[in-house]
Structure 1
Amino acid sequence: MTVHNEQDWPGGLDVKQVRVARPTDRLTEVVRFYRDGLGLAELFSFQGHAGYDGVMLGLPGRSYHLEFTQHVDGSPCPAPTKDNLLVFYTPAVDAMMLMVHRLTAMGHPPVEAENPYWEENGAVTIEDPDGWRVVLVPSAGI
């Protein structure tokens, strides 16, 4: 097994930024969940681009972004499975619980994880406004 320095990309994969994008019919609510609830920074937004509005969220100073778009005509936005996950590793339980409390106060309480691994390791699973699941993991638990 080859172990790479986590600062290095694999050979032949010369990438400087990673963005995960998905559509939503609830752009305002989804942005509020990830920005105000989780605390991700709003990096950029646009309106009216070929019928799309969108917002990019990410970790400040990092090259990892989430992009949410909404089309003026709507989108089918198929429901995710309970095991489609976006996982955030937090530095400590206190940091994780701060996010859990904020999201719960916003109407997004924890839900039971599909895979028991997460709860066995102290993680908390929460659904965003579209039903996509976010797992918050205290790094000490893994």
Structure 2
Amino acid sequence: MGAVRFARPTAKYDDVLVFYRDVLGLPVLAQWRGHHGYDGVVIGLPDTSVHMELLQHGDPPLIPERHPENQLVLYLRGPEAVAVAARRLAEHGHSPVPAANPYWPERGAVLFEDPDGWLVVLAPWVFGEQSPPAG
């Protein structure tokens, strides 16, 4: 397999783009407006091997109901990296939210909601490279 992309709809395209691109600092790999009625952006997670496509279509866009286990987990390189990202989110008006699953906070992860209300987990270890902190 060369790459993986997942896509999800958004009702707040501009706000979600700012959240992932400007606040979290993830790269935009592609972006379009009005392509057959779709606005979209492809965000690198963190590069071209894994990416997230965010789409807005329709008026109003139809968004699936959110669920506490629908999460984007960003594995960062240590607690300091989580603190930097969390501070940056706080500076832009985002507050941490409680986790439904205690696994994450027990291991030092911090959760935030993106502008659509979907959860972003900032985890302080890199999955597959390091063991998670003891919980």
What TM-score do the two structures reach when normalised by structure 2?
0.88
SS in 2 for 1:29: helix
Change (3 A) 1:141 1:121: farther
Structure 1: tracts of 5 or more residues without a match: 1-14
Equivalent residue runs for 1:77-116 within 5 Å:
77-116=63-102
Instruction: Write the distance in 2 (CA, Å) between the matches of 1:129 and 1:20.
Output: 18
Instruction: Select the residue among 14, 25, 42 that pairs with 1:28.
Output: 14
For the aligned residue pairs, the C-alpha RMSD in angstroms reads 1.5
Deviations 1:51-73 (A, max 9, x none): 00101110454311111111142
Instruction: Write the distance in 1 (CA, Å) between the matches of 2:83 and 2:6.
Output: 25
Instruction: Write the distance in 2 (CA, Å) between the matches of 1:138 and 1:19.
Output: 23
Any runs of at least 4 consecutive aligned residues in structure 1 with deviations exceeding 2 A, and if so which? 59-62
Quick one: which amino acid aligns to residue 37 of structure 2? G
Change (3 A) 1:60 1:113: closer
Change (3 A) 1:126 1:46: same
Instruction: Select the residue among 105, 127, 134 that pairs with 2:113.
Output: 127
SS in 2 for 1:111: coil
Task: Identify the residue that residue 34 of structure 2 maps to in structure 1.
Answer: 48
Instruction: Write the distance in 2 (CA, Å) between the matches of 1:60 and 1:134.
Output: 14
What TM-score do the two structures reach when normalised by structure 1?
0.84
Instruction: Write the distance in 2 (CA, Å) between the matches of 1:73 and 1:62.
Output: 30
Q: Is the 8 A contact 2:31 2:41 kept in 1?
A: yes
Q: Is the 8 A contact 2:27 2:47 kept in 1?
A: no
Between the two proteins, what is the percent identity of the paired residues?
48
Q: How many pairs are equivalent?
A: 128
